[in-house]
Amino acid sequence: MPLLPLSNHNDLQRLRLSDDRRQVQPSDGVGGVAASGIIVGMQNTYNSLSHPAGGGGPATASQLRRGGDNRRNLAAWRRPEQQDAAIPIVSVRNLRKVYPNKGGVKVAVQDVSFDVYPGEIVAILGPNGAGKSTTVECVAGLRAADGGLISVLGVDPQTNPEIVRENLGIQFQEAQLHDKITVEEALNLFASFYPNPANVDNLITLLGLEEKRKAGFKSLSGGQKQRVNIALALVGKPKIAILDELTTGLDPVARRETWDLVAKLRDAGITIILVTHFMDEAEYLADRIIIIDNGLVAASGSPASLIAAHPEANNLDDLYVALTKSDSARDLQGVLL
Protein backbone atom coordinates (compact mmCIF):
# COMPACT_ATOMS: atom_id res chain seq x y z
CA MET A 1 0.00 0.00 0.00
CA PRO A 2 1.56 3.34 -0.98
CA LEU A 3 2.04 5.97 1.66
CA LEU A 4 0.50 9.41 1.33
CA PRO A 5 2.57 12.63 1.38
CA LEU A 6 2.14 14.03 4.83
CA SER A 7 2.65 17.24 6.78
CA ASN A 8 4.22 18.04 10.12
CA HIS A 9 2.36 18.64 13.38
CA ASN A 10 3.18 19.63 16.94
CA ASP A 11 4.18 17.12 19.60
CA LEU A 12 1.83 15.92 22.31
CA GLN A 13 2.77 16.00 25.96
CA ARG A 14 3.42 12.57 27.39
CA LEU A 15 1.13 12.49 30.37
CA ARG A 16 0.78 9.50 32.65
CA LEU A 17 -2.77 8.55 33.55
CA SER A 18 -3.76 9.03 37.19
CA ASP A 19 -5.24 6.12 39.10
CA ASP A 20 -8.59 7.84 39.60
CA ARG A 21 -9.15 7.98 35.82
CA ARG A 22 -8.19 4.34 35.34
CA GLN A 23 -11.35 2.94 36.88
CA VAL A 24 -13.75 0.36 35.52
CA GLN A 25 -15.94 1.93 32.87
CA PRO A 26 -19.41 0.89 31.66
CA SER A 27 -19.47 -1.86 29.07
CA ASP A 28 -19.40 -0.60 25.50
CA GLY A 29 -18.73 -2.71 22.42
CA VAL A 30 -16.07 -3.89 19.93
CA GLY A 31 -15.78 -6.36 17.06
CA GLY A 32 -13.73 -7.18 13.92
CA VAL A 33 -12.03 -9.17 11.19
CA ALA A 34 -8.32 -10.05 10.94
CA ALA A 35 -6.20 -7.56 9.01
CA SER A 36 -4.18 -8.46 5.94
CA GLY A 37 -0.42 -8.09 5.86
CA ILE A 38 0.20 -4.42 5.23
CA ILE A 39 1.98 -1.60 6.96
CA VAL A 40 0.68 1.92 6.88
CA GLY A 41 3.16 4.49 8.17
CA MET A 42 1.61 7.90 8.80
CA GLN A 43 3.15 11.33 9.38
CA ASN A 44 3.25 12.45 13.00
CA THR A 45 5.52 14.25 15.39
CA TYR A 46 8.04 11.88 16.86
CA ASN A 47 10.66 14.64 17.14
CA SER A 48 13.03 12.52 19.19
CA LEU A 49 13.96 10.63 16.03
CA SER A 50 14.52 13.72 13.89
CA HIS A 51 17.83 14.83 15.35
CA PRO A 52 21.31 13.45 15.99
CA ALA A 53 21.59 10.84 18.69
CA GLY A 54 21.89 12.07 22.21
CA GLY A 55 19.97 11.86 25.44
CA GLY A 56 20.64 11.81 29.09
CA GLY A 57 18.77 13.29 32.00
CA PRO A 58 16.87 11.70 34.88
CA ALA A 59 14.96 8.46 34.34
CA THR A 60 11.17 8.57 34.19
CA ALA A 61 8.99 6.61 36.59
CA SER A 62 8.28 4.10 33.83
CA GLN A 63 12.01 3.64 33.22
CA LEU A 64 12.61 2.92 36.89
CA ARG A 65 9.67 0.53 37.02
CA ARG A 66 10.82 -1.49 34.04
CA GLY A 67 14.52 -1.13 34.77
CA GLY A 68 15.39 0.16 31.29
CA ASP A 69 17.20 3.32 30.21
CA ASN A 70 14.47 4.36 27.81
CA ARG A 71 16.24 7.53 26.79
CA ARG A 72 19.51 5.95 25.76
CA ASN A 73 18.62 5.52 22.11
CA LEU A 74 16.02 8.28 21.78
CA ALA A 75 17.54 11.05 19.73
CA ALA A 76 17.54 14.50 21.35
CA TRP A 77 14.41 13.56 23.27
CA ARG A 78 12.42 16.44 24.71
CA ARG A 79 9.10 16.77 26.48
CA PRO A 80 6.40 17.70 23.96
CA GLU A 81 4.16 20.68 24.44
CA GLN A 82 1.65 19.99 27.19
CA GLN A 83 -1.85 18.85 26.27
CA ASP A 84 -4.82 18.39 28.60
CA ALA A 85 -4.75 14.74 29.71
CA ALA A 86 -8.51 14.88 30.32
CA ILE A 87 -9.18 15.32 26.58
CA PRO A 88 -9.17 11.99 24.66
CA ILE A 89 -6.73 11.74 21.78
CA VAL A 90 -9.00 9.04 20.29
CA SER A 91 -12.74 8.83 20.92
CA VAL A 92 -15.09 6.16 19.55
CA ARG A 93 -18.85 6.18 20.08
CA ASN A 94 -21.31 3.47 19.02
CA LEU A 95 -19.12 2.18 16.20
CA ARG A 96 -20.80 -0.37 13.93
CA LYS A 97 -19.38 -2.33 11.01
CA VAL A 98 -21.02 -5.08 8.91
CA TYR A 99 -19.84 -7.16 5.95
CA PRO A 100 -21.84 -8.95 3.22
CA ASN A 101 -22.18 -12.64 4.02
CA LYS A 102 -23.99 -15.22 1.86
CA GLY A 103 -26.92 -13.04 0.93
CA GLY A 104 -27.04 -11.39 4.34
CA VAL A 105 -24.61 -9.50 6.52
CA LYS A 106 -22.08 -10.41 9.18
CA VAL A 107 -21.94 -7.96 12.07
CA ALA A 108 -18.27 -7.53 12.86
CA VAL A 109 -18.66 -4.61 15.25
CA GLN A 110 -22.00 -4.18 17.00
CA ASP A 111 -21.62 -1.15 19.25
CA VAL A 112 -18.15 0.01 20.28
CA SER A 113 -17.41 3.00 22.51
CA PHE A 114 -14.10 3.88 24.17
CA ASP A 115 -11.60 6.69 24.70
CA VAL A 116 -7.80 6.78 24.55
CA TYR A 117 -5.92 9.54 26.36
CA PRO A 118 -2.51 11.11 25.56
CA GLY A 119 0.46 9.02 26.65
CA GLU A 120 -1.53 5.85 27.36
CA ILE A 121 -1.05 2.29 26.27
CA VAL A 122 -4.53 0.84 25.80
CA ALA A 123 -4.78 -2.88 25.09
CA ILE A 124 -7.72 -4.29 23.16
CA LEU A 125 -8.27 -7.97 23.98
CA GLY A 126 -10.68 -10.50 22.54
CA PRO A 127 -11.02 -13.85 20.76
CA ASN A 128 -10.52 -14.28 17.02
CA GLY A 129 -13.22 -12.53 15.02
CA ALA A 130 -14.33 -10.36 17.93
CA GLY A 131 -13.83 -7.14 15.96
CA LYS A 132 -10.50 -5.89 17.27
CA SER A 133 -8.74 -5.35 13.95
CA THR A 134 -11.83 -3.96 12.22
CA THR A 135 -12.23 -1.45 15.02
CA VAL A 136 -8.68 -0.10 14.76
CA GLU A 137 -8.89 -0.03 10.96
CA CYS A 138 -11.97 2.19 11.26
CA VAL A 139 -10.11 4.39 13.73
CA ALA A 140 -7.28 4.74 11.20
CA GLY A 141 -9.68 5.55 8.37
CA LEU A 142 -8.75 2.38 6.48
CA ARG A 143 -12.28 0.95 6.61
CA ALA A 144 -15.60 2.74 6.27
CA ALA A 145 -17.76 2.46 9.38
CA ASP A 146 -21.47 1.71 8.99
CA GLY A 147 -22.46 3.68 12.06
CA GLY A 148 -21.18 5.66 15.03
CA LEU A 149 -18.71 8.48 15.52
CA ILE A 150 -14.90 8.44 15.62
CA SER A 151 -12.56 11.29 16.50
CA VAL A 152 -8.76 11.16 16.26
CA LEU A 153 -7.14 14.36 17.52
CA GLY A 154 -10.47 16.06 16.87
CA VAL A 155 -10.69 14.81 13.26
CA ASP A 156 -13.17 12.30 11.84
CA PRO A 157 -11.14 9.59 10.04
CA GLN A 158 -14.19 8.60 8.04
CA THR A 159 -14.45 11.99 6.34
CA ASN A 160 -10.84 13.20 6.60
CA PRO A 161 -8.68 10.06 6.58
CA GLU A 162 -5.70 11.86 5.04
CA ILE A 163 -5.45 14.17 8.06
CA VAL A 164 -5.63 11.26 10.49
CA ARG A 165 -2.91 9.49 8.53
CA GLU A 166 -0.65 12.45 9.21
CA ASN A 167 -0.79 11.62 12.89
CA LEU A 168 -1.09 7.87 13.15
CA GLY A 169 1.05 4.84 12.29
CA ILE A 170 -0.08 1.23 12.07
CA GLN A 171 1.76 -2.08 12.34
CA PHE A 172 -0.48 -4.97 11.34
CA GLN A 173 -0.11 -8.59 12.37
CA GLU A 174 1.65 -9.70 9.20
CA ALA A 175 3.66 -7.66 6.75
CA GLN A 176 5.96 -8.73 3.96
CA LEU A 177 8.72 -6.91 2.17
CA HIS A 178 10.80 -8.06 -0.79
CA ASP A 179 13.14 -10.85 0.31
CA LYS A 180 16.29 -9.02 -0.76
CA ILE A 181 15.53 -5.51 0.45
CA THR A 182 17.73 -4.60 3.40
CA VAL A 183 16.56 -3.05 6.64
CA GLU A 184 18.25 0.24 5.78
CA GLU A 185 16.86 0.28 2.23
CA ALA A 186 13.32 -0.37 3.44
CA LEU A 187 13.44 2.43 5.99
CA ASN A 188 14.97 4.89 3.53
CA LEU A 189 12.32 3.97 0.96
CA PHE A 190 9.44 4.56 3.38
CA ALA A 191 11.10 7.72 4.72
CA SER A 192 11.17 9.12 1.17
CA PHE A 193 7.36 9.36 1.23
CA TYR A 194 7.41 11.95 4.02
CA PRO A 195 8.47 15.61 3.93
CA ASN A 196 9.85 15.42 7.48
CA PRO A 197 10.58 11.77 8.27
CA ALA A 198 12.29 10.26 11.27
CA ASN A 199 16.06 9.98 11.17
CA VAL A 200 16.65 6.47 9.78
CA ASP A 201 19.94 5.91 11.61
CA ASN A 202 18.39 6.84 14.95
CA LEU A 203 15.35 4.68 14.23
CA ILE A 204 17.58 1.69 13.47
CA THR A 205 19.39 2.28 16.77
CA LEU A 206 16.17 2.64 18.75
CA LEU A 207 14.82 -0.62 17.32
CA GLY A 208 18.06 -2.50 18.02
CA LEU A 209 18.70 -3.28 14.35
CA GLU A 210 22.24 -1.91 13.99
CA GLU A 211 23.78 -5.30 13.23
CA LYS A 212 21.05 -6.08 10.70
CA ARG A 213 20.97 -2.79 8.81
CA LYS A 214 22.52 -4.40 5.68
CA ALA A 215 20.67 -7.73 6.05
CA GLY A 216 17.94 -8.78 3.62
CA PHE A 217 14.42 -9.04 4.98
CA LYS A 218 14.22 -12.78 4.28
CA SER A 219 17.24 -13.49 6.48
CA LEU A 220 15.76 -11.84 9.57
CA SER A 221 14.27 -13.73 12.49
CA GLY A 222 10.60 -13.32 13.37
CA GLY A 223 11.40 -10.85 16.12
CA GLN A 224 13.69 -8.83 13.87
CA LYS A 225 11.01 -8.66 11.15
CA GLN A 226 8.54 -7.33 13.70
CA ARG A 227 11.05 -4.66 14.70
CA VAL A 228 11.36 -3.62 11.06
CA ASN A 229 7.56 -3.49 10.79
CA ILE A 230 7.40 -1.25 13.86
CA ALA A 231 10.14 0.97 12.44
CA LEU A 232 8.21 1.39 9.19
CA ALA A 233 5.11 2.41 11.16
CA LEU A 234 7.19 4.97 13.09
CA VAL A 235 9.13 6.47 10.21
CA GLY A 236 6.47 9.16 9.78
CA LYS A 237 6.92 10.25 13.42
CA PRO A 238 3.43 9.36 14.73
CA LYS A 239 1.56 10.78 17.69
CA ILE A 240 -0.48 7.57 17.85
CA ALA A 241 0.68 4.03 17.01
CA ILE A 242 -1.63 1.05 16.52
CA LEU A 243 0.17 -2.26 17.05
CA ASP A 244 -1.88 -5.29 15.97
CA GLU A 245 -0.88 -8.72 17.35
CA LEU A 246 2.62 -7.42 17.85
CA THR A 247 4.22 -10.55 19.33
CA THR A 248 2.24 -13.39 17.75
CA GLY A 249 4.65 -16.18 16.77
CA LEU A 250 7.64 -14.77 18.63
CA ASP A 251 9.70 -16.75 21.12
CA PRO A 252 9.67 -15.65 24.79
CA VAL A 253 12.91 -13.69 24.54
CA ALA A 254 11.81 -11.83 21.42
CA ARG A 255 8.43 -11.11 23.02
CA ARG A 256 10.01 -9.55 26.10
CA GLU A 257 12.39 -7.48 23.99
CA THR A 258 9.42 -6.23 21.96
CA TRP A 259 7.56 -5.32 25.16
CA ASP A 260 10.53 -3.25 26.29
CA LEU A 261 10.52 -1.48 22.95
CA VAL A 262 6.82 -0.62 23.27
CA ALA A 263 7.49 0.81 26.73
CA LYS A 264 10.23 3.02 25.23
CA LEU A 265 7.86 4.32 22.59
CA ARG A 266 5.26 5.29 25.18
CA ASP A 267 7.91 6.98 27.29
CA ALA A 268 8.96 8.95 24.21
CA GLY A 269 5.44 10.41 24.00
CA ILE A 270 3.64 8.11 21.56
CA THR A 271 0.11 7.02 22.50
CA ILE A 272 -0.30 3.31 21.76
CA ILE A 273 -3.31 1.14 20.98
CA LEU A 274 -2.21 -2.47 21.39
CA VAL A 275 -4.32 -5.28 19.90
CA THR A 276 -3.37 -8.60 21.47
CA HIS A 277 -4.48 -12.08 22.50
CA PHE A 278 -1.98 -12.32 25.34
CA MET A 279 -3.07 -11.54 28.90
CA ASP A 280 0.49 -11.26 30.21
CA GLU A 281 1.35 -8.78 27.46
CA ALA A 282 -1.66 -6.61 28.25
CA GLU A 283 -1.06 -6.77 31.99
CA TYR A 284 2.63 -5.86 31.61
CA LEU A 285 2.21 -2.98 29.17
CA ALA A 286 -1.28 -1.51 29.35
CA ASP A 287 -2.55 1.38 31.43
CA ARG A 288 -6.07 0.30 30.53
CA ILE A 289 -7.61 -2.79 28.95
CA ILE A 290 -10.71 -3.20 26.78
CA ILE A 291 -12.02 -6.78 26.71
CA ILE A 292 -14.38 -7.53 23.85
CA ASP A 293 -16.61 -10.45 22.86
CA ASN A 294 -19.12 -10.89 20.05
CA GLY A 295 -18.60 -7.34 18.85
CA LEU A 296 -19.28 -5.76 22.23
CA VAL A 297 -17.04 -4.43 24.98
CA ALA A 298 -17.42 -6.77 27.93
CA ALA A 299 -15.27 -4.71 30.32
CA SER A 300 -12.94 -1.72 30.35
CA GLY A 301 -10.50 -0.43 32.94
CA SER A 302 -7.02 -0.82 34.38
CA PRO A 303 -5.88 -4.42 34.98
CA ALA A 304 -6.08 -3.97 38.76
CA SER A 305 -9.49 -2.30 38.72
CA LEU A 306 -10.96 -4.93 36.42
CA ILE A 307 -9.85 -7.76 38.68
CA ALA A 308 -11.05 -5.88 41.79
CA ALA A 309 -14.48 -5.40 40.20
CA HIS A 310 -14.83 -9.15 39.57
CA PRO A 311 -14.14 -11.00 42.86
CA GLU A 312 -14.64 -14.34 41.14
CA ALA A 313 -11.51 -13.74 39.05
CA ASN A 314 -8.13 -14.41 40.66
CA ASN A 315 -6.23 -12.88 37.75
CA LEU A 316 -6.65 -11.33 34.32
CA ASP A 317 -6.73 -14.75 32.63
CA ASP A 318 -9.69 -15.83 34.78
CA LEU A 319 -11.50 -12.59 34.04
CA TYR A 320 -10.90 -12.85 30.30
CA VAL A 321 -12.12 -16.45 30.11
CA ALA A 322 -15.25 -15.63 32.12
CA LEU A 323 -16.12 -12.63 29.99
CA THR A 324 -15.40 -14.14 26.57
CA LYS A 325 -16.74 -17.65 27.07
CA SER A 326 -18.82 -18.66 24.02
CA ASP A 327 -22.48 -19.64 24.24
CA SER A 328 -21.63 -23.21 23.25
CA ALA A 329 -19.02 -23.39 26.01
CA ARG A 330 -21.57 -22.13 28.54
CA ASP A 331 -24.09 -24.72 27.34
CA LEU A 332 -21.49 -27.49 27.61
CA GLN A 333 -20.55 -26.34 31.08
CA GLY A 334 -24.22 -26.52 32.08
CA VAL A 335 -24.45 -30.13 30.82
CA LEU A 336 -21.23 -31.27 32.50
CA LEU A 337 -21.97 -29.55 35.80
Quick one: pLDDT at residue 243? 92
Task: State residue 14's pLDDT score.
Answer: 31
Q: Residue 151 has what pLDDT?
A: 96
Tell me how far apart the terminal alpha carbons of the chain are, to the nearest angstrom. Answer: 51
CB 238 within 8 A of CB 263: no
Residue 128: pLDDT band (50, 70, 90) is: confident
- Judge whether 93 and 115 are in contact, CB under 8 Å: no
User: How many residues belong to the chain?
Assistant: 337
Segments making up each domain of the chain, as ranges: 19-336
Contact 131, 32 (CB under 8 A): yes
pLDDT digits (tens, 9 = 90+) for 137-163: 999 999 999 999 999 999 999 999 988
HSE at residue 21, side-chain half, CA atoms within 13 A, is 14
Confidence (pLDDT) at 115: 96
Task: Look at residues 33, 38, 278, 272 and name the one whose alpha carbon lies nearest to residue 174.
Answer: 38
Rounded to 10 degrees, the C-alpha dihedral 56/16/165/293 comes to: 130
Q: What is the DSSP string of 4-27?
A: PP----------PPPGGGSS-B--
User: What is the helix (H) or strand (E) element at residue 317, kind and residue range?
Assistant: helix 316-324
Nearest to 266 by CA among 77, 20, 95, 53: 77
* CB-based contact 234:242 (threshold 8 Å): no
Residue 26: per-residue pLDDT = 35
pTM of the model: 0.71
Answer whether residue 224 shows pLDDT above 70: yes
Name the nearest CA neighbour of 268 among 19, 57, 3: 57
Question: Model confidence over 94-117: pLDDT tens digits?
Answer: 999 999 988 889 999 999 999 999
Q: What is the DSSP string of 225-241?
A: HHHHHHHHHHTT--SEE
Question: Please, how many CA atoms are within 13 Å of residue 233, restricted to the half-sphere of its CB?
Answer: 30
The model's confidence at residue 174, banded by pLDDT at 50, 70 and 90, is low
| 31-45, 75-89, 294-308: range with lowest mean pLDDT | 31-45
Sheet strand arrangement including 168-171 = 39-40, 168-171, 240-244, 271-276, 121-125, 288-293, 296-301, 104-116, 90-101, 147-152
118 with 85: CB under 8 angstroms? yes
Q: Domain 19-336: give its CATH code.
A: 3.40.50.300
66 pLDDT band, cuts 50/70/90, is very low
DSSP, collapsed to helix, strand or coil, labels residue 115 as strand
Q: Which region, left, alpha or beta, applies to residue 248 given φ > 0 means left and ψ of -120 to 50 means alpha? A: beta
In the chain, what is the greatest distance between 2 CA atoms, to the nearest angstrom? 65
* Cα angle value 297/300/306 (rounded, 5°): 130
pLDDT value at 50 more than 70: no
- The pLDDT value recorded for residue 173 is 67
Are the CB atoms for 123 and 286 separated by under 8 Å?
Answer: yes
Res. 314: pLDDT tops 90:
no
Nearest Cα residue to 319 out of 289, 274, 275, 276: 289
Flag whether pLDDT at 285 surpasses 60: yes
